[in-house]
Amino acid sequence: MSAIIEVSHVSKSFGGVHANTDISLSVEKGGITGLIGPNGSGKTTLFNSIVGYHPIDSGSIRFEGREISRMLVPEIARLGLLRTFQQTRIYGAMNCMQNMLISIPHRKMTLWEAFRRNSPEEKERAEHLLEFVGLYEKRLLQAGSLSFGQQKLLEFAMAMMNEPTVLLLDEPTAGINPTLINGLIDRLKRANSEYGITLFIIEHNMRVIMNMAERIYCLAYGKLLASGTPAEIQDDQRVIDAYLGAH
């Protein structure tokens, strides 16, 4: 397997805060990679750097061999590198179907094609994906009226609708009740195995990430602390110290 995202020597600081310092990591194509670390260790900053929310201070980020560190958010999204948000974001005043239908891949859609209606195939796919996350019955309800957990599922379905190559998930299970988490893990795994989507996941729930990821990176104080298989990470004393605060 080859690396689909290559982050090399990336640094980013906000004023005096060094959010990321000289971070290098790679995400394997077709796999599930995890990113963990205590609060404030720079995980979301790294995600934001990868998807183009802010320019990085130094280093390079490559996606499928192409340098993307100077590209804008929508351009990177159209390449097939998509992210979901930690504070779930959906289009609240639109219903679930409309949320799904506007999430079709925009890399192919020209201005003229935008003046058409959605094709029956797109509607079918949207309904199928809503069924996949268990929201089919609520598809005509306003997305803003759904519960937080349901909005998270909707956001995930929208990301699937976009046919990404890589999906960056920022805490996909945060705020979801424990019974639903199992269903979500199952769906994430199926997105990876059935739809071939490479996943790169930030997660605080150790049970979830150890269960899913093939390789895990751990950040602390903006630096890469450790990397390895879930078993290696679990046994790494530095990781335990970072989480529990060693002195």
Partner 1 sequence: MSRNAILHIVLLAATIAAPLLFPAYNAFLATLWLFIIVALTWDMTGGQMGYNSLGNIFFYGTGMYVGAVIAIGMYFPVGEWTDAARSELFLMSPGQYYTGLAVGSLGAGIFCALAALIIGALTFGLRGPYFAIGTLGVAIAGGEIVSNIEWLGGGQGISMPNPPGDFDSFKVLIYYLFAGLGVVLFIFLRWFYQTRFAAAINAIRDDEEKAEAMGIHTLRYKLVTWAIAAFFVGIAGSISAFQLIHFEPLETAYQTINLGIFMVVCVLLGGKGTLWGPVIGAVIFHVFKEVTWNYFLGGQWIALGALIVVIVVFFQGGLMGFFRRRFPEWFGVRVETKGATETAS
Across the chain, how many H-helices and E-strands are there? Answer: 10, 10
Give the CA-trace dihedral at 230, 226, 220, 56, to 10 degrees.
-110
CB of 8 to partner 1, least distance (A): 24
Interacting residues toward partner 1 by CB under 8 A: 51, 73-74, 77-78, 82-83, 85, 89-95, 98, 101-107, 109, 111, 113-118, 136-142, 158, 162
Nearer to partner 1, 72 or 231 (CB): 72
Nearer to partner 1, 174 or 181 (CB): 174
159 vs 209 by CB, closer to partner 1:
159
What is the smallest separation between the CB atom of 190 and partner 1, expressed in angstroms? Answer: 20
Residue 202 C-beta: closest distance to partner 1, Å: 15
Q: Smallest distance, Å, CB 9 to partner 1?
A: 25
**Complex with partner 1: residue 85 or 221, whichever CB lies closer:** 85
The DSSP string of 185-226 is: HHHHHHHHHTS--EEEEE-S-HHHHHHH-SEEEEEETTEEEE
Which whole-number Å values give the CA distances from 50 to 67, 77, 79, 188, in the listed order?
10, 11, 12, 21
Burial class of residue 31, CB neighbours in 10 A (0-12, 13-18, 19+): middle
Amino acid identity of residue 206, one-letter, is M
**Closer of 101 and 208 to partner 1 (Cβ):** 101
- For residue 246, the SS3 value is coil
In the complex, the smallest distance separating the C-beta of residue 58 from partner 1, rounded to whole angstroms, is 24
